[in-house]
Amino acid sequence: MNPDSERSLLEKAAAIAAALPDAQRVLMVGGCVRDKLLGLPIKDIDLEVYGLSYEQIVQRLRRKGFRLGLVGKQFAVIKVGPDIDVSIPRRENKTGTGHKGFAIEADPSMTFADAAGRRDFTINAIGEDFEGRLYDPFDGAGDLKKKLLRATGSAFAEDPLRVLRGMQLAARFDLSMDAETIAQCRRMADEFPTIARERLWVEWDKWAQKSSVPSRGLEVLQASEWIRFFPEIEALVGVPQDPQWHPEGDCFIHTMHVCDAAARIAQRDKNPPELRSILLFAALCHDFGKALTTQKNEQGRWIAPEHAPRGVPLAESFMQRIHSPLALIERVRPLVAEHMVHIFTMDETPSDRAVRRLANRLHPASIRMLSQVIEADHSGRPPLPDGNPFTAWLDVADKVALAEQRPKPILMGRHLIARGHKPGPEMGEILTAAFEAQLDGTFEDLDGALNWLEQS
């Protein structure tokens, strides 16, 4: 959000507060206060109103001409446009298992400390009024300075989804979870099965889309022991690697470094959200196959033959379990399968033929996407230097205009029909053979394709 838009959003929030002059107080709360303290842009605002009922707030805001959305009435939430929510402090009483097992009771007379106590982490339990005064009963501002992720209290353990929120918040803001919160997470493990898969995806999607240091989230999973609910990741822990090529440690440690490198690359290259997710999940999944293939060779060195293709079904199973969109899985799959393609040509310039065939195999991903994955993989081996051993492939792909797409067939069905061929299996076989010849470089344009057809 640009500064003018953020200023306009804050002015709109202040106007809402001014429209409620008889409220005990109106506070900005939650993520917007946290982000402001961190110097991050504010994209939406939550307001909490004390001393007025839901109906009174609606009446006063309508009187001042605000257009309201009352879709959150059961939670005492009023939407004022797409980016401001107005709510009443509320109590949440545990009535059953899982993320949804709560009874919600709005109570305008609550103190801010009581209302903030229902929030998950101290960094999200800070309020600020429109004079700039902070309301911070759990020292969330202090925890931000200490880069600490800490539960507000024992009520944290009532909602198992908060563990995964902690995972993505730690990754987004480069935080470490404190020991007591880790202990609470461990005690909540029995309720993991109650979390809907759709909710799993919301938190993992934020991890991929917004994390600045993704490894912090993986550290939370490991420390809390919730990593066991993602067995493809857990299987990487302790898997050895050749120290010459991987001085950083085992496969899990390597994967954490690769994910961090991927986040830096996405930031550097200004990846749009979709490409950032593809890169982060490919980085996370790229070595899943090493858990199945790692062994010592005759010289006593650790190797993992065929780990790239062996990791593909594991990447699929993980992403399906977290309810990832199919389109994302389809792009991550070939990136995992091909992330070692450059290994035997690192000192050579690949042929146009090799690049054409790689671009075709990677679809619907691309050579440029693979370049980012390979750079992250290569850079995730500290103290070895960062770098990209795939640049020669990318240079050739740019030269033949295949960095972003796969080759398009030159010879089409309409060309065959114009020459007397009839639709059917035989035509399909001809077109398949023609495309293979095109990938091999036998022809590069329609005239060449038609000449090939005449000679076949």
Q: According to the model, what pLDDT value does residue 155 have? A: 87
**pLDDT for res 1:** 60
- Judge contact between 116 and 137, C-beta under 8 A: yes
By the 10 Å C-beta count (0-12 exposed, 13-18 middle, 19+ buried), 156 is classed as: buried
Task: Report whether 27 contacts 87 (CB < 8 A).
Answer: no
Buried b (16+ CB within 10 A) or exposed e, 215-231: bbbbbbbbbbebbebbe
> Facing residues of 408 across strands?
none
Element (DSSP H or E) covering residue 50: strand 45-50
- The CATH architecture annotation of domain 1-154 reads 2-Layer Sandwich (3.30)
Dig out the tokens for 420 from the structure.
Answer: 């007397």
- Of 383, 385, 393, 399, the residue nearest 362 (C-alpha): 393
**In terms of DSSP bridges, do strands 134-135 and 25-29 run parallel, antiparallel, or are they unpaired?**
unpaired
Q: Domain coordinates of the chain in residue numbers?
A: 1-154, 270-408, 413-455
Give the pLDDT confidence score for residue 91 in this predicted structure: 78
What is the mean pLDDT, run by run of 10 residues, along the chain of 456 residues?
A: 80 96 96 95 95 94 90 77 92 58 74 92 97 96 97 91 97 97 96 94 97 98 98 98 97 98 98 97 98 96 97 98 97 98 83 96 98 98 97 96 96 93 92 95 94 90
106 beta partners: 90
Amino acid in the structure at residue 259: C
pLDDT of residue 5: 84
Alpha-carbon gap, residue 424 to 422, rounded angstroms: 6
pLDDT of res. 107 = 85
The answer, yes or no, to whether the previous bond of 364 is cis (omega within 30 of 0) is yes
Tokens standing for 287?
A: 């070595």
DSSP state of 365: S
pLDDT of residue 130: 95
Residue that the structure tokens 């949804």 belong to = 100
